[in-house]
Amino acid sequence: MLKLNKNANTNILIIGLGLLGGSYAKALKKKGYHVEAITLEQSSIDYALEHGIIDYGTTAVDPEVLQRAELIVFALYPKVLLEWIQANQHLLRPGTILTDVTGVKGAIVGKVQEMLREDVEFIAAHPMAGREVYGVENSDDRIFEGANYIVVPTERNTEPAIALCEELGRELGFRSVSRLSPEEHDEMIAYLSQLTHCIAVTLMCCHDKKSLEAYTGDSFRDLTRIAKINDAMWSELFMMNKPALLEQMDIFMDKFQQLRNCLVTENVDEMREMMRISTKRRVWFDK
């Protein structure tokens, strides 16, 4: 089984050289790994080569590149990932380890593992890091510092592949590496990430008033930073996690209604109790 070894120049292939793929490449190249990339745009390859982010890159699904790869990281939209594997898995070298960065797992991991050849292994991961800009030009390996990395194994995964994936998270520079099942992951992500994006989008949809900027404080800016959102990708992620996201949206609405009722009935004690609970719990999430 493959072990990550920068001295032995472990050959890592990034498929999809956008913000996250580029940030992976940057971090791994700095650590001494041999990093190649397959991506759609030649301009992304050119940029990455000029800036020393990759060792080699191509826009073609080149069988030679795939035969060289020991570890492949898919940094693609969820549906594109499924299509890519369907179309190209016959080109993989036996023993290759595949991993990903996809933000939903239940709708992806099972399907990939189901269709995949027996002699390669897909171990899912979700790096909880990102930015509100796109493309390899904006890639930045510092986004992993202090961030969380989640490995999402199933019963089809082997312990060495899981361990390799965890090692990858540590090599990338994540502060915390942990494991969740696909179901646990999707419930967690519905609350911590998808619900927060729903809220940010909703907040910006409430009013069409540019002049408000002159009165804005940091709280509004903080709550809407992620309202700049890649609508193609996030709508796909939301749809692929529909039941879990709906559940979290409903929990949120219930609690919001509870707070609203405190205001209507002037129940200041209950309102303050909710505030004390939130203050106490928020301390857990300080970095």
Half-sphere exposure (Cβ direction) of 87: Cα atoms closer than 13 Å: 9
> Which one of 50-58, 117-125, 157-165, 187-195 is the stretch in contact with a copy of itself (CB under 8 A)?
187-195
Using rule CB under 8 A, residue 96 touches a copy of itself: no
Closest distance of CB 136 from a copy of itself, Å: 21
Residues 192 and 248: their CA atoms lie apart, in Å, by 9
Using rule CB under 8 A, residue 260 touches a copy of itself: yes
Q: Are the C-beta atoms of 189 and 241 separated by less than 8 Å?
A: yes
Half-sphere exposure (Cβ direction) of 96: Cα atoms closer than 13 Å: 24
Residues between 218 and 237 that touch a copy of itself (CB under 8 A): 218-229, 231-232, 234-235
> Which one of 2-10, 29-37, 89-97, 188-196 is the stretch in contact with a copy of itself (CB under 8 A)?
188-196
Interstrand relation of 124-128 and 121-122 (parallel, antiparallel or unpaired) = unpaired
Closest distance of CB 87 from a copy of itself, Å: 24
Using rule CB under 8 A, residue 120 touches a copy of itself: no
Residue of 125, 193, 237, 240 interacting with a copy of itself (CB under 8 A): 193
Residues between 36 and 95 that touch a copy of itself (CB under 8 A): none
**What is each CA distance from 81 to 8, 87, 104, 107, 196, in whole angstroms?**
29, 10, 12, 12, 25
Judged by CB under 8 A, how many residues of this single chain contact a copy of itself? 85
Q: What is the CA radius of gyration of the chain?
A: 21
Closest distance of CB 140 from a copy of itself, Å: 13
Residues 212 and 166: their CA atoms lie apart, in Å, by 45
Closest distance of CB 43 from a copy of itself, Å: 23
Residue with tokens 């970095």: 287
Using rule CB under 8 A, residue 138 touches a copy of itself: no
Residue of 101, 198, 237, 240 interacting with a copy of itself (CB under 8 A): 198
* Length of the chain counted residue by residue: 287
- 3-class secondary structure, 138: helix
Closest distance of CB 249 from a copy of itself, Å: 5
In one-letter notation, the amino acid at residue 93 is: R
Using rule CB under 8 A, residue 142 touches a copy of itself: no
> Which one of 47-55, 62-70, 87-95, 238-246 is the stretch in contact with a copy of itself (CB under 8 A)?
238-246
Alpha-carbon dihedral 48, 50, 52, 54, rounded to 10 degrees: 40
